Amino acid sequence: MTANNPNKAFEIGASFKVHLVLKLGVFMKAMVMAAGAGTRLRPLTHFIPKPMIPIVNKPALEHTLELLKKHGFDEIVVNLHSYPEMIKNYFGEGQRYGIKIHYSQEKILLGTAGGVKRAGKYFNSTFVVMSGDGLTDIDLTPVLEFHKKKKSLATMVLKKVDARFDYGVTLIDQYNRIEKFIEKPAWSDVFANTVNTGIYVFEPEIFNYIPKNKFFDFGHDVWPLLLARKQPIFGFEMNSYWCDIGNLPEYKRAEKNALAGAVKVKIPGQVKNKNVWVGENTFIHPQVRISGPVVIGSNCQIEKGVTIDSFTTIGNNNIIEEGAALSDCILWAGVHVAKGVQLRDCVIGNQARISENISVFEGSVINIDEKK
């Protein structure tokens, strides 16, 4: 992938991709988990659902749907709980992505496995489960081929990480069969650095192990149950990019990685010089200095003397007044940055106004209630 235009690499990869329906002889469906409350990302998730957190000016969920479409998935179920109408209104029935989206709304959270069980009527053959609040460019074709070759009931996609974080840890044998799994272990219980990414492939028989209308979790309940019953379950180790945006440091890391081209995603806007993407109807004064990688959304106004340094994302409908300086920060939609403001290493939520001549530095997060 070229550093200058990751969009081009994404499109080239998609152009020669073998459709999974033809390659595997089955019609593939997927479920995307989008019901989480995102408590570890507060205050950013006080007023929006976690899957709508923007990465390079597109909701995290949108990147997941684009990945699934790229790999031949045409029918996708999305479960909802927190701010469900916000997701429905944005994605609709999926027409603009060339997919069919079904929604499964949970008034009471049922857990990861319970949520999939609730949508079980859609799945009568092999299907994939992914998280709507992660970022990855995984090639799903070899995962599905592995699953079929192993005659697996359930396949867990694994990723080697440098630190444990808050993920389930998995040990596989020489044949890739899962032989040990602990969900979010204590440090004293860590036995491997291969973690559960939350990307799964299942046969519909998995529903025999999930109770109906009951809170049930894949990590805490289903995988230990399958192990105890010695079912054919396997782990596929991925080499592709993967990041769980479950907390603020990981969210900021995913944003930087997308800007740097470390993960293949479609970045909206036209590519300008030196890794700068600019959306439609955006005015940038000739005396603005920009050092990429930078993304600037649509319908923005960037005034004279503004400095925008690397790893900055400016959302749609932003106004950046004269003399402001931005570096390594994420601005969501509708933000108004007044004259002389300095922003560095911070996240500014939707519709915020930053007053004149103040500074917002390392680790700061500003979010407001859009309804007020």
Q: For the chain, first and last CA: distance in Å? A: 44
pLDDT of residue 13: 39
pLDDT (tens digit per residue) in 187-215: 444 445 678 898 999 999 999 999 998 99
Same fold, 6-260 and 270-366: no
Mean pLDDT of 53-73: 94
Query: If you average pLDDT over every residue of the chain, what do you get?
Result: 84
CA distances for 368 relative to 6, 340, 354, 365, angstroms: 32, 22, 11, 10
The answer to whether 238 and 155 are in contact (CB under 8 A) is no
pLDDT of residue 371: 44
Is the sign of the CA dihedral 115, 223, 238, 186 positive or negative? positive
Question: CATH fold of 6-260, please?
Answer: Spore Coat Polysaccharide Biosynthesis Protein SpsA; Chain A (3.90.550)
Mean pLDDT of 244-265: 91
pLDDT of residue 191: 44
Q: In this model, does residue 3 exceed pLDDT 50?
A: no
Q: How confident is the model at residue 181 (pLDDT cuts 50, 70, 90)?
A: low
Residue 269: which region, alpha, beta or left (left: phi > 0; alpha: psi -120 to 50)? left
How far is residue 104's CA from residue 81's CA, in Å, rounded to a whole number? 9
User: Going by C-beta distance under 8 Å and a sequence separation of 6 or more, which residues neighbour residue 89?
Assistant: none
* % of residues, the chain, pLDDT over 90: 60
Higher per-residue pLDDT: 361 or 192: 361
Domain ranges of the chain: 6-260, 270-366
Is the sign of the CA dihedral 208, 194, 182, 199 positive or negative? negative
Neighbours of 318 (CB within 10 A): 22
Question: CATH fold of 270-366, please?
Answer: UDP N-Acetylglucosamine Acyltransferase; domain 1 (2.160.10)
Q: In this model, does residue 62 exceed pLDDT 60?
A: yes
When mean pLDDT is compared across 61-65, 86-90, 186-190, the lowest value belongs to 186-190
How far is residue 79's CA from residue 123's CA, in Å, rounded to a whole number? 14
pLDDT of residue 359: 63
pLDDT of residue 46: 79
